[in-house]
Amino acid sequence: MIKRYFPILTWGRSYSRTALEADLVAAVIVTIMLIPQSLAYALLAGLPAEVGLYASIAPLIAYTLLGTSRTLAVGPVAVASLMTAAAVGEIAARGTPEYLGAAIALAFLSGLMLLAMGVLRLGFISAFLSHPVISGFITASGILIAASQIKHLTGIEANGKTLPEIVSGLVENIATLNLPTLVIGTLAAAFLFWSRKGLQPLLLARGLRPGLARLGARTAPVLAVAVTILLSWGLGLSDYGVRIVGQVPAGLPVPALPPLDLGLWADLAMPALLLSVVGYVESISVAQTLAAKRRQRIDPDQELIALGGANIGSALSGGFPVTGGFARSVVNFDAGAETPAAGAFTAIGMALATLTLTPALFHLPQATLAATIIVAVLTLVDLPAIRRTLAYSRGDGMAMLATILVTLGAGVESGIGAGVILSIAMHLWRTSRPHYAILGQVPGTEHFRNIRRHRVVTVPQVLSIRVDESLYFPNARFLEDMLYGRVAAEPAIRHVVLNCPAINFIDSSALEALEAMNQHLKDAGVALHLSEVKGPVMDRLTRSDLITHLTGRIFLTQFDALAALAPEITHQTLSASRQDTTR
């Protein structure tokens, strides 16, 4: 039981010097990447810069103890920061102690929810967020985040929670644009964009080894921070209206309980649940993708516990909600991290940075952090996915498009809520009108196929029908109406064979519908038969009255059904030469 909840007791027993060296190298690289990101994401969440540093220490240690992914890098991320700002901004004003307290409480509440979901094995809840909805939400969030940082990049005084509000504020206050801020922000963004693809080849061309060149490319954000700090300090840019980070308190966070205000917790309950589910889906997707590349296994329920512990650790150390980050996890993976201990070493690096580097951050322009955020989040934007999804599934594409539009126009909580509701509604609509096929026998074989797609032989007195969906309350009436219509249109029918290989479940409403159909068909002189019923479905049916009163029989295969109900036709087609069919 202890090993189950603390995976470190399993992988830690075989921890080697080779793994230690690999984890230390990965930790150095991720720490360099995390320092500017933690500062930037704290400001994105509307919090003091040092809160980002605090949220990058205790959560990483907690995940090291509890996590099952060898390479997932936990910490502040863009989407969680945006959701934090949206949730807490409804409760308190930015810059106030109440705002910080609400952010800490949000992390604590989210951690408790994730922990409870993990203990109760409720990871399936994340299934209510389909991939198109998550993809649309992340794309819209990336656009919102990038748009919200333009004010820091240009010095324009503008606020807003939705894209129309942000754009309107920027246009109305264009006169407040600060030229030095624009220059330094644009140069920082241009350098960061170029460094993603251009810096490593340049370093390789200068003779650096591939490993050092890759490390050098990863340090681009730190280089941008260092250079702009020197420029800001040397040129006195703050005197020209360039906003700087200012005083960042040195020292480690002091452990403390979050605000224990039941009214505050009630206000944060729904945002915390949405943040928990979205963060978990994002984390588990990254963790499973990276684990598959090394043929490793991830425990989804334990990941809930690990993320819950990370968020509780963040709250107790004065941080805000955290989750697994895609970019940092990929860097951690590429850098060769062998175990979750890389996260603990990263936490040590962040603690040292908190103790020693904070005085140097005083002159850091906020425009540099805005550029860091914009460059990071634009990789999340995938607008071509809308066209791909619409081409494959119109319903999923509409859910994705609606999520994007509502998120941009009404905010993050409304957007993801609309996406979930629309996804569930589309699922209910699709399954309420399931695909069905009238079957005929492929000549010369024991196979049965759709009469509309294949050249097959049918028997007038036998209606063979396959329903390609489990039977439950939304589609029970559809099945009744469809069968009654077919029987009424074809007076020769004496047997209806319901072919069931695609039916995985029959709920009580559908069972009642089947019992009614059995009786109504009996009154019309038609027998109802079943074929190819799956074992678990059959187990449930045997506990019902349907089997006792069934007017027909239950056959192992569709061929057995036709062999019993129309033996002369079946044997003729089986002995005939096989004809060409189209699939």
Which one, of 440, 504, 495, 494, lies nearest residue 467 by Cα? 504
Q: What is the SS3 assignment for 576? A: coil
> Which conformational region is residue 74 in: left (phi greater than 0), alpha (psi within -120 to 50 degrees), or beta?
beta
Measured at the CA of 415, the angle between CA 411 and CA 416, to 5 degrees, comes to: 125
Helix (H) or strand (E) holding 325: strand 323-325
Separation in Å, CA 35 to CA 110, 188, 190, 358 = 24, 16, 20, 11
21 contacts 336 by C-beta, under 8 angstroms: no
CA distance 309 to 328: 19
399 contacts 419 by C-beta, under 8 angstroms: yes
- pLDDT computed for residue 582 by the predictor: 39
Cα torsion 508, 511, 512, 516 to 10°: value is: 170
Question: Which residue shows structure tokens 């993801």?
Answer: 416
Read off the DSSP letter of residue 161: S
Spatial CB neighbours of 149, under 8 Å, sequence gap ≥ 6: 44, 370, 371, 373, 374
CA distance 560 to 531: 8
546 residue type, one letter:
L
Q: What is the SS3 assignment for 244? A: strand
Tens-binned pLDDT, residue by residue, of the chain (583 aa): 787 789 999 898 889 999 999 999 899 989 988 999 999 999 999 999 999 999 999 999 999 999 999 999 999 999 999 999 999 998 999 889 999 999 999 999 999 999 999 999 887 776 667 788 888 988 998 999 999 999 999 989 888 888 999 999 999 999 999 999 999 999 999 999 998 888 888 888 888 888 778 777 778 888 999 999 999 999 999 999 999 998 888 888 888 889 988 999 999 999 999 899 889 988 988 888 888 888 888 888 999 999 999 999 999 999 999 999 888 898 888 888 899 999 999 999 999 999 998 888 899 999 999 999 998 888 888 899 999 999 998 888 888 999 999 999 988 888 888 887 887 888 888 888 899 999 999 988 889 999 999 999 888 999 999 999 999 999 999 999 999 999 999 999 999 999 999 999 999 999 999 999 999 999 999 999 999 999 999 999 999 999 999 999 999 999 999 999 988 665 566 555 444 433 4
CA distance 135 to 227: 35
Which one, of 467, 499, 501, 512, lies nearest residue 565 by Cα? 499
Q: What is the number of alpha carbons within 13 Å of residue 152 lying toward its C-beta? A: 24
Strands (E), 349-400: none
- pLDDT computed for residue 248 by the predictor: 87
276 residue type, one letter:
S
Show the tokens assigned to 283. 């984390």
Q: What is the number of alpha carbons within 13 Å of residue 461 lying toward its C-beta? A: 12
Show the tokens assigned to 494. 């004496």
Which one, of 56, 35, 351, lies nearest residue 224 by Cα? 35
Q: What is the SS3 assignment for 499? A: strand
429 residue type, one letter:
W
CA distance 481 to 517: 10
Tell me the β-bridge partners of 438. Answer: 465
- pLDDT computed for residue 484 by the predictor: 93
- pLDDT computed for residue 427 by the predictor: 81
Read off the DSSP letter of residue 379: G
Which one, of 319, 201, 197, 202, lies nearest residue 258 by Cα? 319
350 contacts 322 by C-beta, under 8 angstroms: no
Alpha-helix residue ranges (DSSP H) falling in 412-544: 412-432, 473-489, 508-523, 535-541
Q: Quote the crossing angle between the two packed helices 394-410 and 163-172, to the nearest 10°.
A: 40
Helix (H) or strand (E) holding 108: helix 97-119
Separation in Å, CA 283 to CA 79, 231, 378, 553 = 12, 37, 19, 50
535 residue type, one letter:
G
